[in-house]
């Protein structure tokens, strides 16, 4: 794993500053990308602009050759997560195994028993993993798969995703990964094992249905369903709220009834709202409408409702700009501390009008009354049409479908209809387009075998 010293010619100061500037810009774009993924005003397709701009900075580093490598290596110990992402992609695109090893050695120093998810070191590891997933040389990935069978446990969170996307993870590697990966990365390891799409891995996920973390239990259940282990569904009914999403993805009406009976409207959360929308069950409307009155859940409830009934009740709404103390002039700070944000000279708050789904329960109720004849309570629905491979595929591709729903919808065609083609919402937008095209072709060839709306 060690890497010897690299001999580079000295880099002149102008070039060094230029490469550092590319890293700084790439870091800004990377962190903007992460923020945009959770921005209700941004669609998943909008991310392509940031990805293209990021690629341009990484290409500039690649064009810099050894001088850029030397600059990046010297900057490693000070690099933030966005810079780590850019450096890792640069080294991978350059097929420079020695530089990649030096990057790994730097990152491994930050992994210890005290590592937490909300930490700078965690973000750096996650950024490196995302970079390797995208650009680690394909011909080297079989060697990464072999590392998962070794005792280099600290490397696992960096390399596992790059292995899973190639579906080269062995049973031994998957077992070693789940048993020994540092605990903050267990959830991502679960998704990596399921993404590897090897049915023999399902037995490794089963014990995690009893894990102390509800999030881990949920991902283990989804993973087992992705690997074809539907026999686990009756067991999930013992904790219907924890397992609401996998139950909704499976699409069995009687089991969804148990989830609905267990829900307390005052205890809804984002995952339960997602499950209600994905279920396609019209009975879920009565649970989603009250959530529109909750400021924390209104956005999610509106999109879950729309995923279900396809009302498309979009309207313009004013979103006031949020300020932070560091954004303000000295004379504005006192008012800000008293709860008053800066305003236009005329007294209007700063902000903009955006298009969003209505959060008004009365409008949704009226729409449901006006359109009641369109729906059959016995059927499942997706965007107002009887649910089918076609409508589910379109919902995955739609720019209107937000990330909190797409992250689960991506598994529906696999769990419900047996789609084996790879797809991940974590992939770059251009790659998603290519994969969605393949999925659309599969749906065209196989979708007619399924009755629309059938549970």
User: Are the C-beta atoms of residues 387 and 381 closer than 8 Å to each other?
Assistant: yes
The string of DSSP letters for 153-178 reads GGGHHHHHHHHHTTT---HHHHHHHH
Q: How far is CA 34 from the centre of its chain?
A: 10
Structure-token pair, residue 404:
């909190």
pLDDT of residue 329: 66
SS3 385: strand
d(CA 115, CA 121): 7
What is the domain partition of the chain in residue ranges? 1-135, 237-313+358-449
d(CA 88, CA 8): 19
pLDDT of residue 352: 64
Is residue 420 classed exposed, middle or buried when 0-12, 13-18 and 19+ CB atoms within 10 A define those classes?
Answer: exposed
Longest dimension (CA), the chain: 76
Per residue of the chain (455 residues), give pLDDT as tens: 555 556 666 778 999 999 999 999 999 999 999 999 988 889 999 999 999 999 999 999 999 999 999 999 999 999 999 999 999 999 999 999 999 999 999 999 988 878 888 899 999 999 999 999 999 999 999 999 999 999 999 999 999 999 999 999 999 999 999 999 999 999 999 999 999 999 999 999 999 999 999 999 999 999 999 999 999 999 999 999 999 999 999 999 999 999 999 997 668 999 999 999 999 999 999 999 999 999 999 999 999 999 999 999 999 865 555 645 556 666 666 665 666 666 656 666 655 667 899 999 999 999 999 999 999 999 999 999 999 999 999 999 999 999 999 999 999 999 999 999 999 999 999 999 999 999 999 999 998 889 999 99
The string of DSSP letters for 249-295 reads HHT-HHHHHHHHHH--GGG--HHHHHHHHHH-BGGGHHHHHHHTT-T
The string of DSSP letters for 325-358 reads GGGS-HHHHHHHHTT---B-TTSPBSEEEEEEE-
Helix (H) or strand (E) holding 381: strand 381-382
Quick: pLDDT tens for 61-111: 999 999 999 999 999 999 999 999 999 999 999 999 999 999 999 999 988
């Amino acid at each position: 794993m060690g890497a010897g010293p690299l001999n580079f010619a000295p880099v002149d100061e102008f070039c060094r500053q230029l490469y550092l500037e590319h890293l700084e810009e790439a870091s800004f774009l990377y962190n903007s990308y992460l923020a945009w993924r959770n921005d209700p005003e941004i669609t998943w397709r909008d991310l392509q602009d940031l990805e293209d701009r990021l690629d341009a900075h990484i290409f500039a580093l690649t064009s810099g050759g050894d001088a850029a490598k030397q600059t990046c290596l010297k900057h490693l110990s000070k690099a933030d997560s966005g810079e780590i992402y850019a450096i890792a992609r640069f080294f991978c695109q350059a097929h420079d195994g020695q530089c990649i090893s030096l990057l790994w050695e730097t990152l491994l120093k930050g992994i210890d028993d005290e590592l937490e998810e909300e930490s700078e070191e965690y973000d750096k590891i996650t950024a490196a993993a995302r970079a390797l997933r995208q650009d680690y040389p394909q011909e080297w990935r079989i060697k990464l798969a072999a590392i998962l069978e070794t005792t280099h446990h600290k490397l696992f969170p960096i390399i596992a995703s790059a292995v899973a996307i190639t579906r080269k993870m062995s049973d031994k590697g998957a077992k070693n990964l789940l048993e020994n990966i540092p605990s903050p990365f267990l959830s991502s390891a679960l998704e990596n094992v399921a993404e590897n799409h090897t049915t023999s891995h399902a037995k490794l996920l089963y014990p995690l249905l009893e894990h102390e973390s509800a999030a881990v239990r949920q991902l283990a259940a989804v993973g087992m369903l992705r690997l074809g282990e539907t026999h686990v569904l009756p067991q999930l009914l013992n904790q219907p709220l924890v397992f609401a999403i996998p139950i909704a993805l499976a699409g069995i009406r009687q089991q969804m009834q148990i989830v609905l009976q267990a829900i307390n409207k005052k205890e809804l959360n984002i995952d339960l709202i997602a499950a209600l929308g994905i279920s396609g069950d019209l009975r879920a409307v009565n649970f989603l409408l009250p959530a529109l009155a909750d400021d924390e859940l209104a956005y999610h409830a509106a999109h879950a409702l729309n995923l279900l009934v396809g009302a498309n009740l979009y309207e313009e709404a004013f979103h006031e700009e949020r300020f932070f103390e560091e954004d303000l002039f000295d004379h504005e700070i006192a008012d800000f501390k008293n709860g008053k944000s800066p305003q236009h000279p005329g007294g209007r708050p700063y902000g903009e009008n955006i298009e969003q789904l209505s959060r008004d329960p009365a409008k949704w109720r009226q729409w449901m009354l006006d359109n009641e004849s369109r729906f059959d309570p016995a059927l499942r629905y997706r965007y107002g049409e009887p649910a089918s491979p076609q409508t589910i595929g379109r919902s995955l591709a739609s720019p209107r479908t937000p990330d909190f729903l797409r992250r689960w919808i991506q598994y529906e065609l696999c769990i419900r209809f047996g789609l084996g083609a790879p797809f991940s919402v974590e992939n770059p937008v251009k790659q998603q387009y290519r994969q969605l095209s393949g999925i659309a072709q599969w749906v065209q060839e196989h979708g007619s075998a399924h009755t629309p709306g059938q549970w």
